[in-house]
Chains A and B, each alone.
Chain A
Amino acid sequence: MLKEKGLPTQVLIPSESGNKNNSIDWHTVYVVVSAVVVSIASLYASYSTFEIAQSYGLAIAYTATWLHLPLTYFSSLYVIWMAKQHPIMAWLGTVSAVLNALLVVGGAV
């Protein structure tokens, strides 16, 4: 009936990022993807530390992981908690988390 009269049949509700209904909320996508990436980075850093400790002992694990493991956790928490309010800083946090997780692992020898 409304359609026949050319009236809108759907109420458009603006979201936080200004998107309308039936469109992807990229802000939410960004927040979720960032959270997933840093979660994986944290798990990878934890596993790498465990593996190094098993192979080389705790002393080497301490030397190898140094502060990269806690820095990974810090950056991950930062992204998970702050990505919604501060997306740009969260991007830096994601980079930091991934880089620190990769730095935990040892060399190829």
Chain B
Amino acid sequence: MNYMTPALAQKQRELLDQQLQDHRANDTRASKLLWLAMLITFLLYLAFNLHLYLGDPLTWAAYFVEWTATIGFLFMLGLVVLMAAFLSWVKHHAYLHFGFYGSVTLVVVTVIGFALFAEFFSSSASQDAKSNAMLERNSAYKATLQAPTAPPVDTGLALQLASAQQKLAQCQTRLASGKEKHCNGDAAKVQALENAQSTALSAQVQIAANTTKLNHDRQDKLKADSYNPVIVFMAQLLAGNGDYTDYIKAAVVIIMLIVAVAFEILHHFLSRSKERSYAAIKHLELELAKLTDSSTTLPQPSTKQPIGFTQNPRSNAVLSPEPPVLNTVPDARFKYQDDEKAKFPMGFAIPSPTKSTDARLGTAEHQLSIPQISSFASELTKAGIPFPRDPVLNKTADLASINRIIGKAQNPRSNAVLSQEPPVPAPVPERQTAEEKISNPSNFALLQKYVMHERFDAAFIAIATGNTKCSQKQAMKIHAIGGDMAGWLMIILEAWGIITEPNTNLGNTRTLIQALSREQAQAELNDVKTEILGN
């Protein structure tokens, strides 16, 4: 037996209030960060578009030379600003949407993929522009841009060669007239001087090439050093023992990839954080509402378990007339210890399954239970009997009619009354039916609360018409309702014969018996409200 004293209720309320405040604060912070992220995304897309359509901002002065170019520039500027605003707003809206309804993989991939591309593009261009801007002001780099001076030509050697060639020519003239015996000496001198000149020219060419290479290396080194030290460090890591200036571009890509991915992960996680905060706020508000309701009945014995615990079903089996005893620790159990209650993890008690001695449907001794508000659809479905949807039969058929239908379906050749057939032992039902759960008076207040919830109607109609898959998880995700409410929604739909009971062989999945039209679904919803709310 469990009693909630006023002091306990007050403390519980205080704790829940504190949790609610914390989650609201977290939700507010997530919203503010999402706004800031949207602003950054806008700047990011703007930078991307500016680089793509208008070039490096440091060169925009050229657009203002002629008025036609200025008009074109202003037009494109307006275009890229609008485009950046649109793209960033779409991304922000998508993340807000994900916060309420869960993420959509295709949209996430598109949004993040495009953002990464834009960030890559603009960040790489920005780093290059920054490097160029700094190089332009660097005197050492400017010096390397000058053409290297060629080494001076040895004019003395050329003069000596010319003189030797002249003497050789004179000697050959005299040799032809017989005045000289030979010109070998002059020829050897010319040859020696020519060799010397050739060697000197080769050396000059080699020196010029080396000078140019050194100049280019110096330029590359200065260019590489003009990048951010983090990028230079990454390039050195990539190069190992090689020349790191060749790895600058790769380093830029890697660093910008890290920055872009980190931002996108943080941005995306904000929507998850907001989603969790939103769900927690709704859950806590519901718990507080339940606490308010339960406090009005104090000090009546509570059939609901305190938050986070469930009462041992065995202790609820028989209500003891003994005086209330607050210390019921041996009977207290966590929710996860109770399989039945674990399906409704929001902290309130689903009545524990009671062992019924009724025979299973479809057998000779079958006795249908007729709850206070019920349909026989689930009973028929449970018996494996296909039946046409008939609201009248569903709600008003008497026991004999149902028995007749079951008998016909299972034994078409005989219209004998089922009760006259030989009895067959039937297994004891283990699961409490939806009708029994709904007809439990202790659940009335909760049912009314959920049925009056603003999202109940949409979720009910969506599942009944087949627009939403009839699973508790889908209902929670698509309609942004708590697990507790989704669980009761499924029970109500089952009780009204719209969906089947959970199939234990298929992982407790439910299936839609027959998709209703919107009008039919609305009529069923009205019926639900009439039955549960009494209006």
Q: Which residues of A pack against B, CB within 8 Å?
A: 56, 59-60, 62-64, 66-68, 70-71, 73-75, 77-78, 81-82, 85-86, 89, 92-93, 95-96, 99-100, 102-103, 105-109
Of B36, B140, B230, B270, which is within 8 A of A109 by CB? B140
- In whole angstroms, what is the CA distance A78 to B269 when docked? 11
The interface centre, meaning the residue of A67, A74, A82, A99 with most chain B CB atoms within 10 A of its CB, is A67
- In whole angstroms, what is the CA distance A103 to B226 when docked? 12
Chain B: interface secondary structure? Answer: helix
Interface string of B130-162 (1 = CB under 8 A from A): 110111011011000000000000000000000
B228 lies within 8 A of A105 (CB): yes
B262 lies within 8 A of A96 (CB): yes
A70-B39, A82-B273, A105-B228 known; A60+B262 contact, CB < 8 A: no
Q: List 16 A-B contacts (CB under 8 A).
A: A60-B133, A60-B134, A63-B57, A64-B130, A68-B259, A71-B259, A74-B266, A75-B266, A77-B33, A89-B266, A92-B266, A99-B258, A106-B130, A107-B232, A108-B232, A109-B135
What is the minimal beta-carbon distance from A86 to any residue of chain B, in angstroms? 7
A103 lies within 8 A of B259 (CB): yes
- In whole angstroms, what is the CA distance A70 to B33 when docked? 12
What is the minimal beta-carbon distance from B91 to any residue of chain A, in angstroms? 14
A105's nearest neighbour on chain B, judged by CB, is B228
Of B36, B137, B140, B265, which is within 8 A of A56 by CB? B137
Q: Which residues of B pack against A, CB within 8 Å?
A: 26, 29, 32-33, 36-37, 39-40, 43-44, 47, 57-58, 122-123, 126, 129-131, 133-135, 137-138, 140-141, 222, 225-232, 255, 258-259, 262-263, 265-266, 269-270, 273
Of B43, B258, B266, which is within 8 A of A78 by CB? B266
B46's nearest neighbour on chain A, judged by CB, is A67
- In whole angstroms, what is the CA distance A66 to B85 when docked? 18
Of B29, B32, B37, B265, which is within 8 A of A92 by CB? B265
- In whole angstroms, what is the CA distance A95 to B263 when docked? 10
Query: 10 other contacts beyond A77-B33, A99-B258, A107-B232, with CB at 8 A cut-off?
Result: A59-B57, A60-B133, A60-B134, A66-B122, A103-B231, A107-B225, A107-B229, A108-B225, A108-B226, A109-B135
- In whole angstroms, what is the CA distance A101 to B57 when docked? 22
A85's nearest neighbour on chain B, judged by CB, is B26
A92 lies within 8 A of B229 (CB): no
Which residues of A sit under 8 angstroms from B227, Cβ to Cβ? 107
- In whole angstroms, what is the CA distance A100 to B135 when docked? 22
- In whole angstroms, what is the CA distance A82 to B141 when docked? 46
- In whole angstroms, what is the CA distance A72 to B446 when docked? 48
Which residues of A sit under 8 angstroms from B47, Cβ to Cβ? 66-67
B133 lies within 8 A of A103 (CB): no
A66 lies within 8 A of B126 (CB): yes
- In whole angstroms, what is the CA distance A74 to B151 when docked? 58
B133 lies within 8 A of A86 (CB): no
Which residues of A sit under 8 angstroms from B266, Cβ to Cβ? 74-75, 78, 89, 92-93, 96
What is the minimal beta-carbon distance from A80 to any residue of chain B, in angstroms? 9
- In whole angstroms, what is the CA distance A62 to B126 when docked? 9
- In whole angstroms, what is the CA distance A102 to B39 when docked? 22
Which residues of A sit under 8 angstroms from B57, Cβ to Cβ? 59, 62-63
B133 lies within 8 A of A63 (CB): yes
- In whole angstroms, what is the CA distance A82 to B30 when docked? 9
A107 lies within 8 A of B39 (CB): no
B134 lies within 8 A of A106 (CB): yes
What is the minimal beta-carbon distance from A16 to any residue of chain B, in angstroms? 12
Which residues of B sit under 8 angstroms from A62, Cβ to Cβ? 57
A74 lies within 8 A of B133 (CB): no
Of A63, A78, A89, A105, which is within 8 A of B229 by CB? A105
A109-B140, A109-B222 known; A99+B259 contact, CB < 8 A: yes
Q: Which 7 A-B pairs have the closest CB atoms?
A: A96-B262, A107-B226, A66-B126, A81-B29, A109-B226, A109-B138, A108-B225
What is the minimal beta-carbon distance from B197 to any residue of chain A, in angstroms? 43
Which residues of B sit under 8 angstroms from A60, Cβ to Cβ? 130, 133-134
- In whole angstroms, what is the CA distance A89 to B33 when docked? 14
B33 lies within 8 A of A78 (CB): yes
Which residues of A sit under 8 angstroms from B44, Cβ to Cβ? 67
B33 lies within 8 A of A63 (CB): no
What is the minimal beta-carbon distance from B171 to any residue of chain A, in angstroms? 63
The interface centre, meaning the residue of A71, A95, A109 with most chain B CB atoms within 10 A of its CB, is A109
Which residues of A sit under 8 angstroms from B33, Cβ to Cβ? 74, 77-78, 81-82
B229 lies within 8 A of A74 (CB): no
Which residues of A sit under 8 angstroms from B255, Cβ to Cβ? 99, 103
B140's nearest neighbour on chain A, judged by CB, is A109
Which residues of B sit under 8 angstroms from A63, Cβ to Cβ? 57-58, 126, 129-130, 133
B122's nearest neighbour on chain A, judged by CB, is A66
